Structures are given as C-alpha cells and as structure tokens.
Structure 1
Amino acid sequence: MQLDFENLRNDIAKTLDIAPEELAPHTILAGNEKWDSFSILATVGLITEHTGKQITMTDIIHLETVADLINLFQKLKDC
C-alpha cells in the first residue's frame, strides 16, 4: 500500500477524532485541540502498524501539519 494522503486519510482522521472530509494535507497539527496526548500516542501506533518501525514521542512532537506526518510515514517506510 502506498503511504500517501488518500490511503492514510481515514486512519489519521480516526486518531484525531474528526471526519475524514475535514482533513487535508495542510491541516495544522501543532496547537490543534485534537492533536492531544491520546491522538499522538494513537499516531505512534499507526506509524508502527504501517511501517513496522518504532518511533519516539520526540520524532512526532515536532510535526506541524498532516503533510509533515505523511512525509514521516514515507521516510520511515523507505528506511
């Protein structure tokens, strides 16, 4: 499976507890009330599920947008 926005949209929306239609690559994560400790932990699990890689909170805490998150998925998958 390609790790692109369209393929990950539903999973990311679920971790943020929003409708997939509300999510776009430019959606801001940093400072977003939906980007809380629970959604961050769920995203760490999602990354592990799709890439087989373990990451730390430090790896994910600096993400600004959904596009940054997609780039992280792709980077980890290519490693």
Structure 2
Amino acid sequence: MTSQSISRKNFIKNSSILLASSCVMAPSLIQAEETIEKPTGKKFMLKNVRLETGFDYDADEVIHTKTDLFTVEIEDGKILKISP
C-alpha cells in the first residue's frame, strides 16, 4: 500500500472549495430552521419545563444546581407567568 501525500497548496485549495460550497448551502438550511421554530399562536403554555432554582455549595465552590419542574406561559414572545 502506497501512502499518498497532499501538498499544502492542494490542501488549502480543497478546504477553500469545501468552505465556499458550505456557505452557499447555509442560507437554505437557516431558512428551513426558521420556518420550523415559529410558534403557530400568540399565546401558548410549556409544561414540565426544568428550571434552575438554586445551587448547592461545598465551601465556596458550587457542586451542583437545584432544579424543579415548572409551567411557563408565553404570550407575544414574552414570558407571562412561571408557576409550579
């Protein structure tokens, strides 16, 4: 089996072509994500959302976070209410 070496010039050329082709495809991928993530209504409710409620310390160092489940109400892109 023979080893094939690639010159630095060819490596940079191939990398540039790959980067350019991914930049051309990126706008279509971004557009697809935006249409999927938009909510259908003005007001909605998210149930069982895990939020941080505090920290557990060992001396001055945080060893882990305390979390709990909440219901979050959102209207016009703003959080209206967070309830247990």
Range class of TM-score, shorter chain: under 0.3
**Higher-strand-fraction structure:** 2
* Structure with more relative contact order (C-alpha pairs < 8 Å, separation 6 or more): 1
**Higher-helix-fraction structure:** 1
- Larger Rg: 1 or 2? 2
Q: TM-score, normalised by structure 2?
A: 0.23
